[in-house]
Amino acid sequence: MGFDMLSVVQLIGGLALFIYGMTTMGKGLERAAGSKLEKTLEKMTGNVFKALLMGMVVTMVIQSSSATTVMVVGFVNAGIMTLRQSVGVILGANIGTTITAQILRLDGGAAVSENLFMQMLKPKNLAYVIVLVGVIIMMLAKKRRTRDIADIFSGFGILFIGMSVMEGAVAPLADLPQFAQLFAAISNPVLGVLVGTLVTAIIQSSSASVGILQALSTTGAITYSAAIPIILGQNIGTCITAFLSSLGGSKNARRTAMVHFYFNLIGSIVFLVGTYAIQYTVGFPFWDAAIDKGGIANFHTLFNVTCTLLFLPFTGLLVKLAAWSVPSGDVQEDPLSKLEPRFLTTPSLALEQAQRCIADMGEAAKQNFHLATDPLFSNAVPNEEIFREQESFLDRAEVEIARYLTNVHNIRSVDQRRQTAEMMHSLSDFEKIGDYAQNIFTRMDEFRQAELCFTPTAVQELRTMCEAVGEALNLTVEGYVTRSASVARTVEPLEEVVDTLKERLKSRHIDRLSNSECTMQVGIPFLDIVHDLEKISDHCSNIAIYTIQLCEGAEEFDTHAYAKQAYKDTEQFKEKLRFYQQKYVTQINAIESPDGAIG
């Protein structure tokens, strides 16, 4: 029987089974390891040797250096891992990826016995038993963890079944002289590297590409001279996944992909030059001999281990090359790039990133508050471009963070559900603070265009209220970022003082209008600004209450459910209230309205 279209279909089907089995086993192992796998990877990157070890272990678990590298690109893009820290993990991932080829070599060689029991122990035969065990576990499983174990068993078995199907499909090639001639041509090192790179880039898995080469090696037509350049090309081709993952990410995310690329490219060039230099001077006795699965696995491992040892002292060089390849430029990084889609299956990481983005919203709201209010007390022209940029960020952040939070998977713990609920409330209040700052900014812009101005008394009153609200906003953001209930509790007495200021300012301004000390044209914008400032203070109070409720373990987040009265009866509240009254209300009482001052 020759190699025909049916053989091609079987080869493609075998490859599909191989990739499916490898992916299923890897995902089962990853889920069985728990969501702490990525969290541990994040924390063990301070030392390059720890990072290398962790990158190797994680890749062995999930059976894919591409997946590990994509994970690292996500960490760097989110800002929780530096570019320099990522290098060690990438070096380790390249060693870890060789485990798949070493597992597949277990099925190599002739049977040592005709005994049925010994035959059943061969991986390609044992695979069917392992798949059966996996299916039985899956049918009986009631828990997620048990189904993960079923995936590990079935994936492992399907991996070897796919390999066996590919071997059977390519077996007729051993009798075709054209096949041997093809690989003789591929012995050209440049052509061999290109073939390995192209095939791996297409299927986006060096493990699968090496598996195909191991299957083809069973024909006996592939020599060491043909296989070595292909294996080097396969290591280059696997970089395509990280490249695709980094598109649209931060500059450091793209640099991380470049580190992976330079490691494999420079390593392949050094290995290629070194190997052929030795071959043409001393010569390898096995150079024209047929390579088997074990030989492919060993060379794949030798390449990655050797390159890792060579690059360990020069990790800084990889970072510099990556930085040179992806220059900083003038493009500003998007703060919302922290919302990494790769973290959605790991709630602890996803919620941490969302919390950091909401903290950024707090800083943007603070900046816009000052951009809107500071020009009230000076002749400075407000920076409208920065204001519009921050306001746009606040609007976009509310939508994107909320969408991100609703897409987080596997939230099982009560604390994570509470944290999610708190963030959904807080991000809305931060956005509303931005809206009221925009109201003030717009009103003052129209006010200046009409060439109007407030009376000196009104300016002093607004300054005092703006200082009070600004302090409330600072305390709110600080309490939110640090998750400090003690800081958040200082907002409520200050908010009560702001309410008092609002009533005082309204009353005093109405008196000025009644006494013709101010015109209606100026009076209405004054009252509108006072209203907006008081609303900003209200939303600060809401966020502070959510922070307190989160810290105290509340089951639901509701500003009305917060026992304000119980807190107001405490000596702590009364002391803070007296402090803020002395600081701000006394200032207002001390301001005298000069007779005859027209606004």
Using the predicted structure, report yes or no on whether residue 566 has a pLDDT greater than 60: yes
**Closest residue by Cα to residue 92 from 63, 68, 126:** 68
Q: Is it the case that residue 407 has pLDDT exceeding 50?
A: yes
Q: Please identify which residue in the block is written with the tokens 């054209």.
A: 178
Between CA 87 and CA 220 the distance in angstroms is: 38
Q: Taking a C-beta distance cutoff of 8 angstroms, is the pair 214, 104 a contact?
A: yes
Residue 287 Cα distances to 239, 276, 278, angstroms: 28, 10, 11
pLDDT for position 383: 83
At 597, the pLDDT band (50, 70, 90 cuts) reads: very low
10 Å Cβ neighbour count for 403?
Answer: 10
Backbone angles phi, psi at 318, to 5 degrees: -60, -40
Only one residue has tokens 């000596």, namely: 571
| Amino acid, res. 216 | L
pLDDT band at 491 (very low <50, low <70, confident <90, very high): very high
DSSP label at residue 583? I
Torsion angles phi and psi, residue 223, rounded to 5: -95, 170
Digit-coded pLDDT (tens) for 139-148: 887 777 788 7
Cα-only R_g, the chain: 33
Would you say residue 281 has pLDDT above 80?
yes
> Any idea what DSSP says for residue 176?
-
pLDDT tens-digit series, residues 507-527: 888 887 777 777 777 778 888
Residue type, 244: L
The domain ranges of the chain are: 7-325, 344-590
How far apart are alpha carbons 232 and 235 in whole angstroms? 5
Residues 6+ apart with CB under 8 A from 515: none
For 455, list phi and psi in degrees, rounded to 5.
-70, 155
Q: What is the mean pLDDT of the chain?
A: 81
Residues 6+ apart with CB under 8 A from 454: 376, 462, 522, 526, 599
For residues 50 and 225, is the Cβ–Cβ distance under 8 A? Answer: no
Give the separation between CA 36 and CA 31, rounded to whole angstroms.
Answer: 10
User: What whole-number percentage of the chain has pLDDT above 70?
Assistant: 86
How far the first Cα of the chain sits from its last, in Å, is 101
CA gap 356, 540 in Å, rounded = 18
Q: What is the pLDDT of residue 104?
A: 75
Residues 171-227 pLDDT 10s: 777 666 766 677 667 778 888 889 888 888 887 777 788 888 888 888 888 888 888
Q: How far apart, in whole angstroms, are the C-alpha atoms of residue 141 and residue 357? A: 39
The 3-class secondary structure across 418-432, one letter per residue, is: HHHHHHHHHHHHHHH
In angstroms, the CA 34 to CA 350 distance is: 15
What's the number of CA atoms in the CB half-sphere (13 Å) around residue 409?
9
What does the DSSP 8-state code read for residue 382?
P
User: What integer is the mean pLDDT of 388-399?
Assistant: 92
- Residue 561 has a pLDDT of 58
- Concatenated DSSP letters for 445-496? HHHHHTT----HHHHHHHHHHHHHHHHHHHHHHHHHHHT-HHHHTTHHHHHH
Q: What is the pLDDT, as a whole number, of residue 439?
A: 92
222-278 confidence digits (pLDDT tens): 888 888 999 999 889 888 878 877 776 778 888 888 988 999 999 999 999 999 999
Per CATH, the homologous superfamily of domain 344-590 is Phosphate transport system protein phou homolog 2; domain 2 (1.20.58.220)
Given a cut of 90, is residue 44 above it in pLDDT? no
User: And the tokens for 203?
Assistant: 């299927």
CA distance linking residue 250 with residue 263, whole number of Å = 20
> What length is written for the chain?
599
Q: What is the pLDDT of residues 64-92, one digit of tens each?
A: 677 778 778 877 877 777 788 888 888 88
Distances (CA, A) of 250 to 60, 76, 332, 430, 562: 28, 8, 9, 25, 41
Nearest to 322 by CA among 239, 264, 266, 262: 262
Reported as a pLDDT band with limits 50, 70 and 90, residue 110 is very low
CA distances from 88 to 44, 58, 84, 239 (A): 10, 13, 8, 16
